[in-house]
Amino acid sequence: MKGFLRILLLGILLGIVLTSSGCGGGGDSINPPDALAPTDVVQPLAFPGPYAVACTNIAQDFSQIPADGDVNDYWEGRGSYVTDLLEDPDNTLIASVTAPMDSTLYGSFTGDEIEVAVIVCYPTTADNPRPDYQLPTGEVVPHMQTGLDLPLFADDSESYPVIVFSHGYGNSPISSEAYFTALSSLASHGYVVIAPFHGDFRFSDLKIDNIGDSIDIASNLDDFTAMQALRPLAISAALTLVLEDPQWQGHLDETRIGGFGASMGGETMMLLDGASLTTSYFDIGASSKQVTTDLRIKAAVGYVPYFGQAILPAFGRNQQGLDNVTLPFLGISGTADTVAPISEVETGMSRLTGTRELISLEGVEHGFDVASTNDIFTWALMFLDAELNGNQATKTQLSTMASVAGGGDDRVVVFYNGL
**Angle, helix 221-244 to helix 264-272, in steps of 10 degrees:** 70
Nearest to 263 by CA among 201, 147, 341: 341
**Residue 340 above 90 pLDDT?**
yes
Q: What's the rounded mean pLDDT across residues 61-86? A: 96
Residue 375 has pLDDT above 50, yes or no: yes
Q: Which amino acid is at 20?
A: S
pLDDT of 46 > 90? The answer is: yes
Question: 84-112 burial, b if ≥16 CB within 10 A, otherwise e?
Answer: ebbeeeeebbbbebebeeeeebbbebeee
Set out the domains of the chain in order of their start, with CATH numbers.
2-22+42-414 (3.40.50.1820)
Nearest residue to 314 (alpha-carbon basis) of 335, 344, 353: 344
Beta 299-303 vs 252-262: how paired, if at all? parallel
Q: For position 310, what pLDDT does the model report?
A: 85
Q: Which of 353, 341, 225, 241 is nearest to 282 (CA)?
A: 225
| Residues 375, 404: Cα–Cα separation, whole Å | 6
Residue 336 has pLDDT above 50, yes or no: yes
Q: What percent of the chain has a predicted confidence (pLDDT) above 90?
A: 85
N-term to C-term CA, the chain: 54
Over residues 396-410, mean pLDDT:
97
Looking at every residue in the chain, the average pLDDT score rounds to 91
Band (pLDDT 50/70/90 cuts) for residue 207 is low
Region for 121 from its dihedrals, namely left if φ exceeds 0, alpha if ψ lies in -120 to 50, beta otherwise: beta
Q: Residue 155 has what DSSP assignment?
A: S
pLDDT at position 285 is 64
Cα(244)–Cα(269) distance, rounded to whole angstroms? 22
Non-local CB neighbours of 66 within 8 Å, separated by 6+ positions: none
Residue 341 has pLDDT above 80, yes or no: yes
Torsion of CA 307, 309, 314, 317, to 10 degrees: 120
Amino acid at 125: T
What is residue 228's predicted lDDT score, i.e. its pLDDT?
Answer: 97
Q: Is-contact 120 162, C-beta < 8 A?
A: no
What is the amino acid identity at position 255?
Answer: T
Please enumerate in sequence order all residues whose Cβ is within 8 A of that of 93, keeping only pairs 6 or more positions apart, or say none.
Answer: 56, 57, 117, 118, 119, 120, 238, 241, 242, 245
Mean pLDDT, residues 121-126: 98
Among 20-34, 66-80, 99-113, 123-137, name the one with the lowest average pLDDT: 20-34
d(CA 323, CA 366): 26
